[in-house]
Structure 1
Amino acid sequence: MPGMQGMQGMMGGGMPGGFPSGFPGSSQMNGQLPVEQSYIENILRLNRGKVGTFYMTFDGNPKWPAKIFKGVIEAAGRDHIIISDPETKKRYLLLMVYLDYVTFDEEIDYFDQGQMATYSPR
């Protein structure tokens, strides 16, 4: 069985651990967010205050197999999103596990402006 150096050679060049540049541990990829920071919750945090449409699927729920929520992004965490409906003033705590995708009617902020929380890669 090969040692660690043998494994690195089998996995490819670039960074320690055999990851080519642009993968976890590298700083940036094509001028976008570093890979380890491009998670959905970080992208949503960068777009706080914008209106988004959140498409969600609730497997095994005959009453709500799918539902669409539209609102202003108030906060986002690793497992949740908080949005508010400006018309009804109602707030929603949505679980990421049910999120399919999000649409915006305006440009999406995707670059770090020094305001993003940093988490270790998953």
Structure 2
Amino acid sequence: MYGYYPYQQNMAGGGVSQRVERRFSEELLEANVGRKIAAYMTYDSSDQWRDKVFSGTLRQVGRDYFVINDESTGQDVLLLNINISYIVFIGQQARLAPQ
């Protein structure tokens, strides 16, 4: 019922369908692997970790997660995209995802 259907009917064009392009945050993150970021995360169900900032080098990006290397501890941290408030790219502009 709520599934994604990538084609729309073009009413004026006599039934010609066209592709609707969708862009996702992981595409932008993937284009910036190796760069320093600050990830501002929100955890609604936690009083201790309500709003938390993770800083480090972006190492890997998946469909619903990303991994950064925390410079202060040297540990890799896996973070879920669902908790992202926003991300700041430190020191240089973000590379845009290819089109």
For the superposition of Structure 1 and Structure 2, which TM-score range results when normalised by the shorter chain?
A: 0.7 to 0.9
Separation (CA, whole Å) in 2 of partners of 1:93 and 1:60: 18
Separation (CA, whole Å) in 1 of partners of 2:49 and 2:65: 19
Q: 2:81 aligns with which of 58, 81, 96?
A: 96
Deviation readout 1:57-109 (Å, 9 max, x if unpaired): 00121111110000100011111010002342111000111011100121110
> What's the TM-score, normalizing by structure 2?
0.76
Q: 1:62 aligns to what?
A: 47
Separation (CA, whole Å) in 1 of partners of 2:66 and 2:50: 19
Q: 2:96 aligns to what?
A: 110
Aligned length: 88
> What's the TM-score, normalizing by structure 1?
0.63
Give the structure with the higher percent helix: 1
Give the structure with the higher percent strand: 2
Separation (CA, whole Å) in 1 of partners of 2:82 and 2:97: 24
Q: 1:72 aligns to what?
A: 57
Larger radius of gyration: 1
Q: Whose relative contact order is higher, 1 or 2, with alpha carbons under 8 Å and at least 6 apart? A: 2
CA RMSD, 1 decimal: 2.2
Q: Runs of 5+ in structure 1 lacking a partner?
A: 1-6, 18-24, 27-34, 114-122
Identity of aligned residues (%): 28
**Matched residue type, 2:63:** R
Q: Runs of 5+ in structure 2 lacking a partner?
A: 1-8
Structure 1 segments of 4 or more deviating over 3 A?
Answer: none
**Matched residue type, 1:110:** L
Q: Is the 8 A contact 2:55 2:71 kept in 1?
A: no
**Residues 65, 87 of structure 1: alpha-carbon distance in 2 compared, 3 angstrom cutoff:** closer
1:1-122 aligned at under 5 Å gives the runs 8-9=10-11, 16=17, 25=19, 35-36=21-22, 38-105=23-90, 106-112=92-98
**Matched residue type, 1:62:** D
